[in-house]
């Protein structure tokens, strides 16, 4: 049985990254099969319910007011429009509906509409996930009372690299929000971005930060940077070898995340549309068991439903139908 640990050291994680590739995948696949069905992958859909105009200066983000990316700021979507999109996602086979708003933090005046959206999506029988920026204790409680299943707040990278990519808030701000989410009883979704110009040591630090939280995130999205012209990182990495992370290194990161957080859902997120089918297959072998479907992720392109269905057919994969391990455990604890 693969042990659940929250006392990983950076040295141990670095050793995992350094394993021969085939040995690393074997260990990751073994950990994966201990808690998950190897032929099941969770289907999720992500919708931007409020796009652009974010005051944060995240160097990777096209929705920042500091980026010259051409993304226009919009107001919060109408509740009915969001619920219509959720219904379409459910019809396409998605289990979880994730909604993102480009805010530093939501304003209290926006919370009634957000609560209505959460309740509406949940009433369809879908899992709900929101990413709205930093939260106050009151806002976290409101989301919990509305029945929000997951709150996404990525740590992005290692504590050391974080301050190189973002200056308008600190890593501790992110961790504080995750703490409020956990306190309110909402499941945590937190991951990061690979390929921002960070080093292997930073990827070790990224996994270490998540795997040593008091409780592992129920979901760990692993993104490959989509360099967007007009963003700090997009312009910095343009036309350089660093503009695209090495596929093997990306798979290694997925595998190490799976080994260190064996019960979590590890999601292939942004950047998947630029990966070959072979690379995606290696990620699934390494323990990735969740993807975003549809042809758009917030403002970035994504592999479409049809191409995903074709890939699943070729690999013999099917959509996850049951509960995720950590969430199922919570439900049992609630009964007891």
pLDDT value at 230 more than 90 = no
Mean pLDDT value of segment 202-230: 89
Active site residue 182: no
> 44 an active-site residue?
no
189 known member of a binding site: yes
129 tagged catalytic? yes
Q: Is 61 annotated as a binding residue?
A: yes
Contacts of 336 (CB under 8 A, 6+ apart): none
List the one residue out of 99, 260, 267, 262 whose CA is nearest residue 194. Answer: 267
Predicted pLDDT of residue 142:
95
Model confidence at 302, pLDDT cuts 50, 70, 90, reads very low
Q: Do 263 and 251 contact (CB within 8 A), yes or no?
A: no
Mean pLDDT value across the chain: 85
231 within some domain? yes
Marked catalytic residue, from 129, 252, 258, 327: 129
- Residue 244 in domain: yes
Segment of 165-174, 230-239, 250-259, 295-304 carrying the highest mean pLDDT: 250-259
Write the pLDDT tens digit of every residue in 41-81.
Answer: 999 898 988 876 565 655 555 665 555 555 666 778 889 99
Are the CB atoms for 195 and 246 separated by under 8 Å? no
Is 277 or 293 the better-scoring residue by pLDDT?
277
| Residue 167, domain CATH | 3.20.20.70
Is 283 a known ligand-binding residue? no
Query: How much is the pLDDT for 104?
Result: 72
Check whether 58 is labelled as a binding-site residue: yes
Choose the catalytic residue: 44, 61, 169, 203. 61
Banded model confidence at residue 296, pLDDT cuts 50, 70, 90: very low
Least confident of 2-11, 235-244, 254-263: 235-244
Whole-angstrom distance, CA of residue 304 vs CA of residue 81? 21
CA dihedral of residues 331, 321, 78, 294 (deg, nearest 10): 140
pLDDT, position 301: 47
Residue 240 vs residue 189, higher pLDDT: 189
CB atoms within 10 A of CB 72: 9
Give me the catalytic one of 44, 96, 98, 174.
98
Q: Give, to the nearest 10 degrees, the angle between helix 137-146 and helix 171-183.
A: 40
Q: Could you say which of 169, 174, 252, 267 is catalytic?
A: 267
Annotated ligand binding at 98? The verdict is: yes
In a domain, 5, yes or no: no
Is residue 3 one of the residues assigned to a domain?
no
pLDDT given for residue 237 in this prediction = 63
Instruction: Tell me if 2 is assigned to some domain.
Output: no
> What is the pLDDT, as a whole number, of residue 148?
96
Q: Give the model confidence (pLDDT) of 96-145 as tens digits.
A: 999 988 787 788 899 999 999 999 999 999 999 999 988 999 999 999 99
Judged against a pLDDT cut of 50, whether residue 187 lies above it is answered with yes
Domain that holds residue 177: 10-334
% of the chain beyond a pLDDT of 70: 81
Residue 1: inside a domain, yes or no? no
Query: How many folded domains does the chain comprise?
Result: 1
């Amino acid at each position: 049985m693969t042990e659940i640990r929250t006392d990983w050291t950076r040295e141990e994680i670095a050793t995992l990254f350094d394993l021969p590739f085939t040995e690393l995948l074997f260990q990751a696949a073994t950990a994966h099969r201990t808690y998950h069905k190897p032929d099941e992958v969770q289907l999720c859909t992500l919708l931007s319910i409020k796009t652009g105009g974010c005051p944060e200066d995240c160097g990777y983000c096209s929705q920042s007011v500091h980026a010259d990316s051409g993304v226009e700021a919009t107001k919060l979507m109408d509740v009915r429009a969001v619920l219509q999109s959720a219904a379409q996602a459910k019809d396409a086979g998605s289990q979880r509906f994730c909604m993102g708003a480009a805010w530093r933090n939501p304003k209290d005046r926006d919370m009634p509409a957000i609560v209505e959206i959460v309740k509406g999506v949940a009433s369809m029988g879908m899992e709900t996930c929101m990413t709205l920026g930093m939260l106050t204790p009151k806002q976290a409680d409101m989301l919990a009372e509305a029945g929000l299943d997951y709150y996404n707040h990525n740590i992005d990278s290692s504590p050391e690299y974080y301050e190189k990519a973002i200056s308008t808030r600190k890593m501790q701000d992110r961790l504080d929000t995750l703490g409020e989410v956990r306190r309110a009883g909402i499941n945590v979704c937190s991951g990061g971005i690979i390929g921002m110009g960070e080093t292997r040591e930073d990827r070790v630090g990224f996994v270490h930060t998540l795997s040593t939280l008091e409780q592992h995130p129920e979901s760990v999205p692993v993104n490959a940077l989509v360099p967007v012209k007009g963003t700090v990182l997009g312009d910095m990495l343009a036309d350089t070898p660093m503009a695209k992370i090495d596929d093997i290194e990306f798979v290694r990161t997925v595998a190490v995340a799976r080994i260190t957080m064996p019960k979590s859902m590890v999601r292939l997120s942004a950047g998947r549309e630029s990966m070959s089918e072979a690379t995606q297959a290696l990620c699934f072998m390494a323990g990735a068991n969740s993807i975003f479907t549809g042809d758009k992720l917030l403002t970035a392109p994504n592999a479409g439903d049809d191409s995903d269905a074709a890939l699943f057919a070729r690999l013999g994969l099917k959509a996850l139908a049951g509960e995720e391990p950590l969430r199922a455990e919570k439900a049992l604890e609630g009964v007891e």
